[in-house]
């Protein structure tokens, strides 16, 4: 089955990939290795992210037939074997590009990242360990950016992105039924505030401004859940968490002394919002 480009974009949540290169930039900036190799590692990261999205839809095809019949597989626009093949091919491409761009050190991070992505989609997603599993994927993605150097130096940045991802994933588990009450948005909003404070502390003006941009965009969407906890609002909050992420990544890069790189990463925020109106990032 040959799928049109728009259908493939829906399958892999193409717009959401704008939130991915910033992981690599943040990690490389923290490790002091931001340079030409980072572009290749970012490309590898995007491949692995898209692979995860395709594998997610393949794994959820029966559930989506009931809850989200408009998605590519249950709607019949993409067959399940094709989706699985796309996921496998993108995984192989991501590993190959990572090895080419960053050598054995980067590949040593990319392989656990790919394994974590597939483990989340096939085993962890619908369990209590789901948010932690997704957070681990994002944290490893940050460490991939530092893979050409010393990933240990990027651990604080990886932890920040991991905590943010945990909050977004916790919200995403209520995209169909809506939030059960005010406790969840209260917890995720407090998490967002803590993440913002951690990045802004001693970060300089650019880092503070970008962290504020992240907090405003994501925080406003979470605050709306107190008045309307419907599934539509939850999906909006999850989408905001995804599209606001480049501002957080940019703040981390700026805090590491790479202000221009941080501003370039944060520039993806309005682009992501625009594309999200055409293809859902969730």
Model confidence pLDDT, tens digit, residues 11-35? 999 888 999 999 999 999 999 999 9
Residue 268 lies in a domain: yes
DSSP 123: I
In the block, tokens 């190799």 appear at 37
Q: What percent of the chain shows pLDDT beyond 90? A: 85
pLDDT of 1 higher than 60: no
Looking at the domain assignment, is residue 282 inside a domain? no
| Residue 66 maps to a domain | yes
Q: What is the pLDDT of residue 127?
A: 94
What does pLDDT average to over the chain? Answer: 94
pLDDT at position 150, please? Answer: 83
- Is 9:54 a contact under the CB 8 Å cutoff? no
Q: Is residue 2 part of a domain?
A: no
Q: Which pLDDT belongs to residue 96? A: 98
Identify the CATH number of the domain in which residue 223 sits: 1.10.600
Mean pLDDT for the stretch of residues 188-194: 97
Query: Residue 6 has what pLDDT?
Result: 87
Question: Region 82-89: what's the mean pLDDT?
Answer: 97
* Domain interval for residue 246: 7-276
What is the C-alpha separation between 91 and 47, in angstroms, rounded? 6
Tell which residue, 132, 130, 134, 162, has the closest CA to residue 27. Answer: 162
Residue 253 predicted with pLDDT over 90 = yes
**Integer Cα distance of 270 and 267 in angstroms:** 7
Residue 51 has pLDDT above 80, yes or no: yes
Taking alpha carbons only, the member of 112, 128, 202 closest to residue 169 is 128
pTM here?
0.93
The answer to whether 78 touches 7, Cβ cutoff 8 Å, is yes
239 in a domain, yes or no?
A: yes
Given pLDDT bands bounded at 50, 70 and 90, which one contains residue 164?
A: very high
Residue 22 belongs to a domain: yes
How far apart, in whole angstroms, are the C-alpha atoms of residue 73 and residue 89?
Answer: 18
Query: How far is CA 112 from each of CA 86, 95, 118, 128, 205, rounded to the nearest angstrom?
Result: 20, 10, 10, 21, 35
Mean pLDDT in residue range 232-238: 94
Domain membership of residue 151 (yes or no) is yes
User: Has residue 66 got a pLDDT over 70?
Assistant: yes
Residue 65 lies in a domain: yes
Structure tokens given for 113: 């990242």
Report which DSSP code applies to 4.
Answer: P
In 3D space, the residue among 170, 278, 190, 277 whose CA is nearest the CA of residue 234 turns out to be 170
Distance CA 143, CA 122 (A): 23
Number of domains observed in the structure of the chain? 1
Instruction: Give the pLDDT confidence score for residue 2 in this predicted structure.
Output: 59
């Amino acid at each position: 089955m040959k799928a049109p480009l728009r259908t493939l974009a829906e399958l892999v949540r193409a717009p959401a990939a704008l939130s991915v290169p910033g992981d690599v930039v943040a990690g490389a900036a923290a490790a002091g290795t931001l340079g030409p190799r980072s572009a290749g590692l970012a490309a590898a990261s995007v491949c692995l992210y898209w692979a995860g999205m395709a594998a997610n839809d393949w794994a959820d095809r029966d559930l989506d037939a009931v809850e989200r019949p408009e998605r590519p597989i249950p709607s019949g626009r993409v067959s399940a074997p094709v989706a699985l093949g796309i996921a496998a091919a993108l995984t192989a491409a991501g590993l190959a590009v990572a090895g080419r761009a960053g050598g054995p050190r980067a590949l040593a991070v990319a392989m656990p990242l790919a394994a974590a992505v597939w483990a989340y989609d096939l085993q962890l997603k619908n369990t209590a360990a789901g948010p932690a599993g997704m957070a681990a994927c994002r944290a490893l993605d940050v460490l991939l950016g530092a893979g050409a150097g010393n990933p240990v130096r990027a651990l604080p940045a990886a932890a920040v992105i991991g905590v943010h991802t945990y909050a977004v994933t916790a919200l995403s588990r209520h995209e169909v039924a809506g939030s059960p009450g005010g406790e969840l948005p209260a917890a995720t909003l407090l998490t967002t505030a803590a993440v913002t404070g951690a990045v802004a502390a001693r970060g300089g003006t650019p880092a503070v401004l970008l962290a504020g941009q992240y907090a405003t965009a994501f925080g406003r969407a979470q605050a709306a859940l107190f008045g309307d906890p419907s599934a539509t609002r939850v999906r909006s909050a999850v989408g905001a968490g995804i599209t606001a992420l480049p501002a957080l990544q940019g703040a981390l890069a700026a805090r590491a002394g790479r202000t221009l790189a941080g501003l370039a990463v944060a520039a993806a925020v309005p682009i992501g919002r625009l594309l999200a109106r055409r293809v859902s990032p969730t």
